[in-house]
Structure 1
Amino acid sequence: MEKSGGPPEYQPAPTVAYQPQPAGQMYPDMQQQAPQQTVVIQQPTSTVTTVVTQQPTAMVGWSTGLCDCFQDVKSCLCSFICGNFYYATLATRMGENCCVGCSGYGAGCVPGGHMAMRSRLRGTHGIQGTICDDCIMASFCLPCAMCQLSREMDKLGYSPNC
């Protein structure tokens, strides 16, 4: 081997016969694998809907009229003579704080207290009327409305007045 400053001499590569493979068999010794996919199958569920049909209860009127104050003279006198105290007593009978009853006659502890008490009693016991009616009664007929509320509570079995 002679040493010279030129590039080394390379032997030519041996000739290899090439046979093209049929399509799909480029690498016969390797099996093609399909990419793996995670499939989530959601099982069908059944939904049961229960419909409860309740017959509407018939609304009833107040058992006594607004101007039937003399059917219960005690509540009539209490509402006209010492209205705030009587009003606090009615609130206590309904299970409310006595201050709710202080809204009568301008004491102003809870504005709209009488209207709220009438609305609650009506809603609880299915008595006909509207919040507008309750507002008018509380604004213009408070002593008579208190008497009516007391008589209704007596009829419905609320604990008696003191």
Structure 2
Amino acid sequence: MEEAVTGKQIAYAALYDPPVMQQPTAITSTTIVINQQPQTIIRGWHSGICEDMKSCCCAFFLGHCYYACLASRMGEDCCVGFGCVPGGHVAMRVALRHKHGIPGTICDDACMVSCCLPCSMCQLAREMDQLGYPPKDGCC
């Protein structure tokens, strides 16, 4: 049954109900996900091969004991630096380079270690000092 609309109801609606100015629209939402990967800062070594006497003297005169201390400072077993692990010295340089965004290749590190192990370990020690690696007791 339909009810008849009276004139009184139309007059009331005109006075109190505001007119519709726009059509209703559907509400939509969009979710945007931004996934940012951590950025590694690319930079070079802080020093060259042989730039200070302290690390060079330690490397030349204390040799593998000094390298074992460097490995220990890096959180590695001292056997890696002492030479008990084949390729350990190369691995130390590669690990430090990779961790701190220093450009280079494994081949570069292998050539450096093969040509002058003490000099490459001096550079590694100075870099660790620059980066704030804590010294170990009994090491240079």
Is TM (by shorter chain) over 0.5?
yes
Mapped to 1, the partners of 2:116 and 2:33 lie a distance apart of 47
Structure 1 counterpart of 2:16: none
Cα distance change on mapping 1:115 and 1:49 into 2, 3 Å: farther
Higher gyration radius (CA): 1
**2:58 aligned with 1:117, yes or no?**
no
Structure 2 counterpart of 1:88: 68
Amino acid corresponding to residue 77 of structure 2 in structure 1: N
Structure 1 counterpart of 2:108: 133
Structure 2 counterpart of 1:75: 55
Identity of aligned residues (%): 60
Which one of 23, 36, 44 corresponds to residue 61 of structure 1?
A: 44
Mapped to 1, the partners of 2:32 and 2:89 lie a distance apart of 42
Structure with more of its chain in helix, by fraction: 2
**2:81 aligned with 1:101, yes or no?**
yes
Structure 1 counterpart of 2:130: 155
Mapped to 2, the partners of 1:148 and 1:127 lie a distance apart of 13
Cα distance change on mapping 1:49 and 1:118 into 2, 3 Å: farther
Q: Deviations over 1:11-33 (max 9, x none)?
A: xxxxxxxxxxxxxxxxxxxxxxx
Structure 2 counterpart of 1:144: 119
Larger RCO, structure (CA 8 Å, separation 6 or more)? 2
* TM superposition shift of 1:138: 1.1
Native 8 Å contact 2:46 2:127 kept in 1: yes
Where structure 1 has 5 or more consecutive residues not aligned to the other structure, the ranges are 1-47, 104-108
Q: How many residues align?
A: 107
